[in-house]
Amino acid sequence: MNREHFGKLERMYLSANLNQQIYDTTTCKIYIERSEIGLTISEKYFHALGAIHGSVYFKLLDDAAFFAVNSIVEEVFVLTTSFNIHLLRPAHKGMLKAVGEVKFKSRNLFVAESILFNEQGKEIALGTGNFVKSSIPLTQEIGYQ
């Protein structure tokens, strides 16, 4: 695997409309079979009780696991086929960091796990997902540049 591929994936992630318009303080770093996704907490992500909504936990965990897998798939976009999360504690402020790692790989099926940490380094959520290769090539048209 090469650093050029990782850089293209990072740019694809950071340039996505969702990450630019809604999750505006996102960071992304990709390594072989591993990725780190960061987000600075904002009140716009809160539910009625003043903490991060579970959908934000899901997004960060899924994104980290997804990019860990796509780090080792250079020709096509991968797809999440299932993803389970466990919410452990609420988050109210600071920077969140999701770390994803590939745990299993075969020709077409990949399993990755991710952990979401708060600013103090405490685990606040866990996720596990299944991913498959799609037929969508990694091209400039989808932001892979």
CA distance 139 to 113: 26
Q: How many CA atoms lie within 13 A of 43 on its CB side?
A: 3
pLDDT tens digit sequence for 35-80:
999 999 988 889 998 889 999 999 999 999 999 999 999 999 999 9
Cβ(60)–Cβ(123) under 8 Å?
Answer: no
Strand partners, 133: 78
pLDDT tens digit sequence for 7-43:
999 999 999 988 888 887 789 999 999 999 999 998 8
For the four alpha carbons of 123, 88, 19 and 102, in that order, the dihedral sign comes to positive
Cβ(71)–Cβ(34) under 8 Å?
Answer: yes
CATH class of the region 3-142: alpha beta
- pTM (two decimals): 0.95
pLDDT tens digit sequence for 126-140:
999 999 999 999 999
Strand partners, 3: none
Domain range annotation of the chain: 3-142
For residue 94, what is the DSSP state? S
SS (H, E, C) 18-59: HHHHCCCCEEEEEECCEEEEEEECCHHHECCCCCECHHHHHH
